[in-house]
Structure 1
Amino acid sequence: MGDTAPAKERDGGDAEEPAARNSIAAMARCYQGFDPAVYLQYNYTAPRADFGRADSIVPWKLACLHEAFAEGDVKGETLVDVGSGPTLYQVLSGCEVFGRVVLTDFLEVNRRELRRWLAAEEGGFDWTPYLQHVCRLEGRGPSAWREKAARLRSVVSEVLPIDVHRPCPLAPGSLPASGADCLVSSFCLESVSPDLGSFTQALRHVTSLVRPGGHVLLIGALGETYYMAGRDVRVPVVPLDEATLCGSLKASGLELLRLCIYTLPADMRVGVDDVSGIFFIKARKPQLGGGGD
């Protein structure tokens, strides 16, 4: 989360009206109070991260990601995670498939949180239950989580700043010239965009980071209008539904392969947002000329 910034200079062919630029700048200001510790407490501890419950949010997300990477068609060398926020769960399955993982976020506080875990420093969020759960999904033994943690630390090459509202969201040279083989993004674009048009444009921007034939895996909120990014930090969110999602995918040139929907149980609605459901999307960027992968 938190990977938006004022749109100052734009590449040709992607001009915006002043009102749109002002709206994006206003979103950036919302994120100046983002508190990684509070955000993690709200969303990545029980009940939303109860690994003993089949209907808990986090195990559902991890299962979707595990399945997508286990099917064998999502492969290559470079995986880029767009808008990592202060979280790592979204690359725990992918790190076994790809030799290079690039994490990104607009906010330095989130990049610092990621680097803290990668450097095994004290005081960071404990991702051990997540590592253990993904290892169970992979059919590995109880001690394998340490191997997975070491694997993740070895393949994360960079933690980079990003701005999804720019036509070139990452600095030149951050990824191979052909693009990343796979892009993952979780709860990012809808929570950093002021409206549906900006969301769709941001999706087009990040899709440009992927090579033709590469895959895009998206997790996000349905029906959400706000979430709490700190004790008193309320961030507006673009409310999405299945139809708007499919429309944005089509406008971005992506081929939808799978759309899964999770509906929140009543006790998962804990007052830190008004989300009603979560989506998981597996999509592919078509080959140039329309050929198969």
Structure 2
Amino acid sequence: MWIVATDFLAVNREELGRWVRGEPGAFDWSPFIQHVCKIEGRGEPWQDKQRRLRQRLRRILPIDVHLPDPLGAPLHPRADALLSSFCLEAVSPDRASFVRALSHISNLLRPGGHAVLLGALGESFYLAGPARLPVVPLQESDVRDALAAAGFSLRELRSYAMPPALRTGVDDVDGVFFAHAQKALEG
């Protein structure tokens, strides 16, 4: 198994590349990797998981989910699975754009491939330093409808209200969703 990572911003791709190469001063993902090892409960040393992850991350590519071919050209072979985390709703100015972005990323998946989406519910903005960036506010029903319109079969959708203790003031998020969907098999 190998991994292709994508990001719209060159600065983010460069930072991820620094981490993959183990360069000094790169973002430290070790607390997150340690947490994953803890919840997996296999007793695996986090350093081993980090080493394997770095080895499997083969490419870091630019992406624009508003293009029919988000990577600029078709991905060959197409992916078995993709993960999008708090991205599509942040780059979509409205629900129709969100649906189109889902349709576009489905082009990266093989027939029967899986999509795992994590995202914000009810969020209309987030702060990035002094910038206030708009977000399309989604409800659970919007996520369901968008996945269906983009040709996915919903396997599981869970949503959680944002507890007051986790509200930091950098956004107005009401909750989060976790969706597992599958691209249709081509007939």
| 2:95 maps to 1:196 | yes
* Of 151, 157, 163, the match for 1:265: 163
Q: Distance in 1 between matches of 2:28 and 2:174?
A: 27
Deviation at 1:234, TM superposition (A): 1.1
Deviation track 1:82-103 (CA, whole Å, cap 9, x = no partner) reads xxxxxxxxxxxxxxxxx11000
Provide the alpha-carbon RMSD of the alignment: 1.1
Indicate the residue corresponding to 1:113 in structure 2: 15
Q: Distance in 2 between matches of 1:227 and 1:113?
A: 21
Deviation track 1:186-240 (CA, whole Å, cap 9, x = no partner) reads 01110001111111101100011101011000000000000112x2011100000
TM-score by length of 1: 0.62
Gaps of 5+ in 1: 1-98
Letter of the 2:62 partner, please give it.
P
* Of 128, 138, 141, the match for 2:40: 138
Identity %: 53
Indicate the residue corresponding to 1:102 in structure 2: 4
* Of 165, 171, 182, the match for 2:72: 171
List aligned pairs for 1:25-174, cutoff 5 A.
99-141=1-43, 144-172=45-73
SS, match of residue 125 in structure 1: coil
Q: Distance in 1 between matches of 2:5 and 2:50?
A: 15
Indicate the residue corresponding to 1:243 in structure 2: 141
Q: Distance in 1 between matches of 2:41 and 2:63?
A: 35
- Pick the structure with more strand per residue: 2
Deviation at 1:172, TM superposition (A): 2.4
| 2:125 maps to 1:226 | yes
Deviation at 1:284, TM superposition (A): 0.5
Letter of the 1:167 partner, please give it.
P
SS, match of residue 288 in structure 1: coil
Deviation larger for 108-117 or 214-223: 108-117
Q: Distance in 1 between matches of 2:95 and 2:152?
A: 17
Deviation track 1:18-77 (CA, whole Å, cap 9, x = no partner) reads xxxxxxxxxxxxxxxxxxxxxxxxxxxxxxxxxxxxxxxxxxxxxxxxxxxxxxxxxxxx
SS, match of residue 257 in structure 1: strand
SS, match of residue 275 in structure 1: coil
Indicate the residue corresponding to 2:109 in structure 1: 210
Indicate the residue corresponding to 1:287 in structure 2: 185
Q: Distance in 2 between matches of 1:186 and 1:288?
A: 26
SS, match of residue 25 in structure 2: coil
Deviation at 1:264, TM superposition (A): 1.1
Deviation at 1:171, TM superposition (A): 3.1
